[in-house]
Amino acid sequence: MRDLTRRRLLLAAGGVAGGAAVVGAVVTRNRGPHPVVRHKIVPDGRARRLVLSWPSSNRLLFGVARARFFGTYNLDVTLVDGPRTGRTTIADVVEGRAAGAAAPILTWLDRFRLGPIPAHLVSGLQSGSFRLLVRRGVKGSRLDNVAGMRIAVTDQDMADRLFFSVMMRRKGIDPESAVHWVTLAPTQVEQAARAGEIDAVAAHDPQAWQWLHLPDPIFFELENSTTGHYRERTNLALGLSDALLRSDPVAAASLVMALRAASDWIRAHPDQAAELVAEAMEGMDAGQILAMLRHESLGISPVGADLRVQVSQYVDEMKLLGRVSDTVGSAAYARRLCVSVLEADESGALSIPGNGPA
């Protein structure tokens, strides 16, 4: 943690604390008189079953983790049945249908602002792939020119709209009054664009990539999150229920390790990743998936202090939209929302703060 001073890395004396196998201990000092000792957690070999909820629109990372890495960490991971958006995955955790959920950080923050929920963020999963696609023939080649446009989204609550709303606000454009947001089913977007009923669409890969590369192109890309400083920031984040974090820290750590291993593997082997998930990726073959991956930033999966820094940046952006109060300290709020699951205290427990904005 940034407000703690890392003193030294000690070799562990061995043994198991609270069910967590320990390989080392990090001694840190807070404002109190006594040092806080945190032990690195490693998998203990026990088989575990977990239910997660994951957005239907992009399950590439999950598919790779299930095929190659969950078994390595003795995890049997299944998903909640049915199509899911970021908001419904979070609802699955809140309502007890899943032990964890993947959702965009912007969506997590938009849910947290409604009140504390029994979950905390534990890891970034992948960078964003938001794209603002404008219909060919529409005037305007810069974000400054979007005022008056009819912009389609597939769900008013999707993070696509929130992300580009932040970008508009930075340009001095009011995203609520200066543009017209139109909600369309994915199957209606192309037809509406060809009929001139919409001027643009805000979406994310793989759907945005498919629209951008239609055989008869109709869109050009105006803005995205795959370039500039956004490309190094996580978008999708894993949140785990407080019940799991308290009852089984090793399960939480093992899950994060498996997903981070999958993220790193995709970055190192994008061609194999494309082949691995091609059958499950509707409308795209392995070659198209590989081309998409080569235009994305891979291997972005921050934890601990790195995750808190990025969440703090997103809190600042939600303030621009009036969705988080300016009186809230962004860094302090991020510390309350995030839990580091790779280290536990001497009893094997994780440090789990309250997650309200105060």
Within this chain, do residues 83 and 66 fall inside the same structural domain, yes or no?
yes
Place of tokens 């009893």: 347
Both tokens of 357, joined, read: 């904005």
Mean pLDDT over 34-48 rounds to 81
Q: Is residue 16 part of a domain?
A: no
Residue pLDDT, tens place only, 163-177: 999 999 999 999 999
CA 189 to CA 263: how far, in whole Å? 31
**Does a structural domain hold residue 349?**
no
Q: Rounded CA gap, 38 and 55, in Å?
A: 33
Is 137 a residue whose pLDDT tops 80? yes
Q: Are 147 and 179 in contact (CB under 8 A)?
A: yes
Measured between alpha carbons, how far is 76 from 153 in angstroms, rounded to an integer?
Answer: 35
Does residue 169 sit within a domain?
Answer: yes
Distance CA 240, CA 53 (A): 10
Identify the band that residue 13 occupies on the pLDDT scale cut at 50, 70 and 90. Answer: very low
**97 and 243: one domain?**
yes
- CB contact set of 114 (below 8 Å; sequence gap of 6+): none
What does the pLDDT read at residue 11?
25
User: How would you classify the pairing of strands 150-153 and 200-204?
Assistant: parallel
Flag whether 144 is in a domain.
yes
- At 182, give phi and psi (nearest 5°): -120, 125
What is the spatial distance between Cα 99 and Cα 48, in angstroms, rounded to a whole number?
12
User: Does residue 219 share a domain with residue 122?
Assistant: no
Average pLDDT over residues 137-152: 90
List the one residue out of 323, 265, 258, 300 whose CA is nearest residue 108. Answer: 323
| pLDDT exceeds cutoff 70 at 34 | no
How far is it, in rounded angstroms, from Cα 62 to Cα 70? 10
- Classify 236 as helix, strand or coil: strand
Q: Does the pLDDT value for residue 21 go beyond 50?
A: no
Structural domain boundaries enclosing 99: 39-128+232-344
260 and 309 share one domain: yes
Q: What are 288-296's contacts with CB under 8 Å, separation 24+?
A: 288/209, 288/210, 288/213, 289/60, 289/206, 291/213, 292/205, 292/206, 292/209, 293/266, 294/270, 295/209, 295/226, 296/127, 296/129, 296/205, 296/226
Same domain, 239 and 338: yes
Q: What are phi and psi of 25, to 5 degrees?
A: -135, 135
Per-residue pLDDT band at 36 (split at 50, 70, 90) = low
Provide the Cα torsion 85, 89, 91, 96; round to 10°: 150
User: What was the pLDDT predicted at 23?
Assistant: 39
Note the pLDDT tens digit of each residue in 213-232: 999 999 999 999 998 889 99
The total number of structural domains that make up the chain = 2
Per-residue model confidence as pLDDT tens digits over 97-116:
999 999 999 999 999 998 88
Task: Please answer whether residues 266 and 259 qualify as being in contact, where contact means their C-beta atoms are separated by less than 8 angstroms.
Answer: no
Residue of 348, 302, 339 whose CA lies nearest to 122: 339
User: Cβ neighbours of residue 314 under 8 Å, at least 6 residues apart?
Assistant: 105, 106, 109
Q: Could you tell me the pTM of the whole model?
A: 0.88
Q: Which of 199, 224, 249 is the last residue of a domain?
A: 224
- Residues 184 and 99 occupy one common structural domain: no
Q: Which of 172, 204, 224 is the last residue of a domain?
A: 224
Q: Are residues 240 and 119 in the same domain?
A: yes
- Same domain for 339 and 242? yes
Rounded alpha-carbon distances, angstroms, from residue 18 to 22, 112, 348 = 10, 30, 4
